[in-house]
Chain A
């Protein structure tokens, strides 16, 4: 009987502001469920699981994880080989991000200029970005081939080197190879970021500066770079986050070698987990890796939310 009367009331009375809001809120939570579930199952749980696994010894020889407290962390932080992968990662991340941003900015400035054929260039710029990582790795491995590679042929004929460089089998060469390839892939995206940033430029300001006798380079330095500063910070953080996580290109090109010369954190964790099957160790390095990433992500999220 109660049920009926409640139902009747709901039908007869016009919905009050309050119940409408409650209905909206229910709907808002309801449509959030699928994404939240996916997030919880595929991101949050795996991360918490990895966190806790870092306190256990769990290799292929252990039937069950054995709790060992902070031992994994001690092992990682005292192992010079593992610590070296932080340095390797830093070299890769800084090198790639700097090169990408420099070329991305230069290319965006060029593509902002109105010239004949610009549309074709802009369209083609996407190419490196949409190739599957394995394909990009192939393309560069072949270009940098130690015997028949076209890069070696060019360097030789220009007289820059006397004999072929074995890019992928020496430490520096392998690092150069992965930085170049990753830069090549990332330029299109960064060009788009900078192009989007350039849309907000104040043209009258540029015209005024030009009347005052400022040249092209002065305008870039005095007006364009300051205008792009916020874009620089956000894309810089975004680029570093992406490069800190990069796995595919490095694995396909060098597999982390020669020996350990290009073993960045992603490769290290992969090898520990899926080649040595040492899940405790892999998780420990993974957790430390997350802490390495955290400041950048916090910075990025804060700048995203600043205007909201």
Chain B
């Protein structure tokens, strides 16, 4: 798009590229390199760019002390199940909005989308006593259900815009053959919408995976604790000085999802952006 013939243009482009790249990627590099530094090297006024010797002690203690692995398991379990549940609800609702005509359609769709107007923190004030009343406070199931709040509106819209693009002839043809609406949905529509379903699942997963507010408030026992609050409670307090441990644990906590996203990133980015701004 840009013509970079003159040296000024080249230099300007490179300078801007390096500046923003530094801002985006250096923190990740720094965290990673800090995780491999021994305490002597970590706590000196003149920091080293590369770890002198690859010290693995922080990783060892991150795993052997505390409950990092259990917390990871809890996080993966609650985030994955809520993401799948969310994607299923969003697919059904999105299909209804995209391929059928009925009087209440637009108001109902607006209603679901308007959920973005209500801050999660405000909803939590009532969700907390609600879960308490049905004995779901401090359970993985309660947290899983609460996570639906985060992604349902946008997920529904994403599925809606995907279904909208599907040719009507596809559905009409199946109907002429005598297939029921339900059958058309799960035999024809869902299989070809699998990429969108995955995108929406990942999108919802991201929300719950990143969450701190709900997991911190709705989970109180060590046994159900998820990664976010787990890390926070362990490493951020008045007299914390274990930055090496914090970086190593952070790396371990982030690694599984980074791998998944690296594999799926192409379709994911396209899907999310087309859903939110089209």
Q: Which residues of A contact B (CB under 8 A)?
A: 23-25, 27-29, 31-32, 34-36, 38-39, 42-47, 49-50, 53, 103, 106-107, 109-110, 112-113, 121, 123-135, 137-143, 145, 147-148, 150, 153, 184, 187-189, 192-193, 195-197, 201, 206, 210, 216, 219, 231, 234-235, 238, 241, 244-245, 247-248, 251-252, 265-266, 269-270, 273-274, 279, 282-283, 286-287, 289-290, 293-294, 297, 300-301, 304-305, 307
- How many chain B residues touch the partner (CB < 8 A)? 101
A39 touches which one: B88, B105, B152, B261 (CB < 8 A)? B152
> Number of residue pairs across A and B with beta carbons under 8 Å?
290
Known: A29-B102, A106-B20, A196-B277. A130 touches B258 (CB 8 A): yes
A42 touches B148 (CB 8 A): yes
Q: Are B125 and A43 in contact (CB under 8 A)?
A: no
Residues of chain A within 8 A (CB-CB) of B46 are 153
Interface pairs (28), CB distance under 8 Å? A25-B102, A29-B96, A31-B185, A35-B152, A46-B118, A50-B122, A106-B20, A107-B24, A123-B265, A126-B261, A130-B258, A131-B250, A132-B228, A134-B212, A134-B253, A138-B31, A139-B30, A142-B34, A147-B43, A196-B277, A216-B9, A238-B276, A247-B212, A273-B121, A286-B121, A301-B114, A304-B113, A304-B278
* A197/B277 in contact, CB under 8 A: yes
Whether, in the assembled complex, B119 has its beta carbon less than 8 Å from a beta carbon of chain A, the answer is: yes
Beta-carbon contact of B89 and A121 below 8 Å: no
B93 near A36 with CB under 8 A, answer yes
- Determine the chain B residues whose CB is within 8 A of the CB of A287 once the complex forms: 122
Judge whether B219 is part of the interface by a CB distance below 8 angstroms: no
B residues in contact with A28, CB < 8 Å: 96, 99-100, 102, 105
Residues of A within 8 A of B118 (CB): 43, 46-47, 290
Q: Which residue from chain A places its CB closest to the CB of B49 in the assembled complex?
A: A150
